[in-house]
Amino acid sequence: MVRLTNLLLAAALGGGVCLWAQAPKEDAAAIYKRQCAGCHGPDAKGQTAVGKNLKVPDLTSAAAQNLTDSQLFDDIAKGKGKMPAYENNLGHDRIQELVAYLRQFGKGPAGKKK
């Protein structure tokens, strides 16, 4: 009996860990859309009502794209001016993915798409 209980417990825990491991699999595009686009806009140009109000910088601009990866990382992690800090909320890896994602706005067809 005890052994069966342990087995069930292990199965339940295992299932839980699996679900938990899948949760952070949301990709950078989805995170951006949910957490950033409200201010920065879906095209990262900052032309939302909130974005204009807060004077959100155009992340597709040369000025923003000329920042180094670690500068972009720090701005997102620590926040800047009216922008909230995301290091506790997103963690290192997802912020890194967001930096890579932001780079797409600065170049090629991905950046030009409407």
Task: Report how far residue 27's alpha carbon sits from residue 5's, in angstroms, rounded to the nearest whole number.
Answer: 37
Q: Per the structure block, which two tokens stand in for 69?
A: 């990866």
Q: Looking at 26, 35, 87, 106, which residue binds ligand HEC (CB under 6 A)?
A: 35
**Interface with ligand HEC in residues 56-95 (CB under 6 A):** 56-57, 59, 63-64, 67, 72, 75-76, 80-84, 86
Residue with the CB atom nearest ligand HEC in the bound state: 81
The amino acid that residue 6 corresponds to is N
Q: What is the dihedral of CA 106, 94, 32, 85, to 10 degrees?
A: -100
Footprint of ligand HEC on this chain (CB under 6 A)? 35-36, 38-40, 50, 54, 56-57, 59, 63-64, 67, 72, 75-76, 80-84, 86, 98
